[in-house]
Structure 1
C-alpha cells in the first residue's frame, strides 16, 4: 500500500465505497489527535487573549477625552481590525476540533486532504494579516508615546489643563491590546503550522 493510499480518504481519487472504513488507520488517528489538541489549545488561548483585548479596547474607545492626535485613532482602528481577524482565527480553531472527530470516529468520512490544507492556509493568512495590521497600530502608538516622552516638559506637569500631551491611560490601553492581539495571532499561526506539519507528511 502506498503512502498516499495509507492516508486516504485524503486521496482525491479515493472511491466512495472505501471512504467510510470501520476503523481508522494510525495515520488518520494521528491527524485527528493533532487537530483536536492544536484546535483546543489555540481556541482557548486565543479566546482568553481576545476577551482581554476586547475589554482593553472598549476602555480605550470610551476614553475619548485623552485622544491627543489622529495617530491614536489610527492605532485604535488597527487594533480593532486585528481583533476582528483574531475572532475569525478563533472560529477556525473551533472548527479544527469539529474536524478532529471526523478523523477518529469509525464510519465517518473525514475531510479530503486538500480541504483540510485549505482551511489551515486560510487560518495562517488570516493570522498574518491580523498580526500585520495590529503591528502597524502598535508601531504608531509606540511612536506617539516616544514623542510624548522625549518632548516632556516637567514645568507643564502641574500647570497643564489636560494630560493628552503626556503618556496617559489611553496609550497604555492600546499598547496592551495590540500586544495581546499579536500574541493571539502568533498562537493561531503556531497551531495551524503544527497541524499542517502532520497533514503534509
Structure 2
C-alpha cells in the first residue's frame, strides 16, 4: 500500500470543508446581497420622498432611525464582502500546493470577524428599527387632530413608513444569514 489511509481521510476532510466554505459563502453572499439591495432601494426612496417640502415624514425620530438603517446597510456591505471571502477561502483550501492554503488560525479569525460585523450590523439596524417604530407608534397613539375644519396629515402613517420598517427587517435578516453562515463554518472547521 503506497497511500496512507490517514492522508486520504485528511484530504477528503479538507475537500469537504473547502466545498462547505464555498457553498455556504455563496448562499450567504447572495442572500445578503439581494436583501441589502432591496433594503437600500427602499431606504433611498424614503430619503428622496421624505425630503419633499411639507412631507409628514420629517420627524427627528424617523430621521435618526433612517440614519441607523443606512449605517446597518453600510455594515452589511462588510458582511457581503466576508461572505465572498469565504468562497475564496474554500478555493484556496482546494489548492494542491499546501503553502497556498490558509492556516486554520487565519480562517478562524476571518470567521470571527464575520460574526462581529454581522452582530454589530444587527445591533445598529435594530436600534434604527426601534427609533422608526417608536416614532410611528407615537404618531398612531397621539390624539388625532381631526376636527370639523382641520386635519393633521403628520398623524398619518404612510405606506412608505411601513416600507422603511420592512427594509430594516430585510437588513436584520441579511445580517442574520451572515451570522448563521459564520457560525456554521466555525462549527465545521472546529470539528476537523
TM-score normalized by the length of structure 2 = 0.86
1:85 matched to 2:71:
no
Residue in 1 that maps onto 2:105 = 114
Cα distance in 2 between the residues matched to 1:183 and 1:189: 10
Q: Which has the higher helix share?
A: 2
Alpha-carbon distance change, 178 to 34 in structure 1, aligned in 2, over 3 angstroms = same
1:189 matched to 2:179:
yes
Residue in 2 that maps onto 1:68 = 58
Q: Structure 2, unaligned stretches of length 5 or more?
A: 1-5
Given the alignment, which residue of 118, 123, 128 partners 2:114?
123
Cα distance in 1 between the residues matched to 2:73 and 2:113: 16
Stretch moving more, 149-158 or 61-70: 149-158
1:99 matched to 2:86:
no
TM-score normalized by the length of structure 1 = 0.82
Q: Structure 1, unaligned stretches of length 5 or more?
A: 1-5, 8-22
Residue in 2 that maps onto 1:16 = none
> How far 1:106 sits from its partner (Å)?
2.0
C-alpha contact (below 8 Å) 1:34/1:195 kept by paired residues: yes
RMSD over equivalenced CA pairs, Å: 2.2
C-alpha contact (below 8 Å) 1:68/1:165 kept by paired residues: no
Residue in 1 that maps onto 2:128 = 137
Cα distance in 1 between the residues matched to 2:161 and 2:20: 39
Given the alignment, which residue of 119, 123, 138 partners 1:147?
138
Residue in 2 that maps onto 1:13 = none
Alpha-carbon distance change, 157 to 96 in structure 1, aligned in 2, over 3 angstroms = farther
Aligned residues: 180
Residue in 2 that maps onto 1:45 = 31
Cα distance in 2 between the residues matched to 1:158 and 1:175: 32
The ranges of structure 1 where at least 4 consecutive aligned residues each deviate by more than 6 angstroms after the TM superposition are none
Cα distance in 2 between the residues matched to 1:158 and 1:29: 74
> How far 1:70 sits from its partner (Å)?
0.7
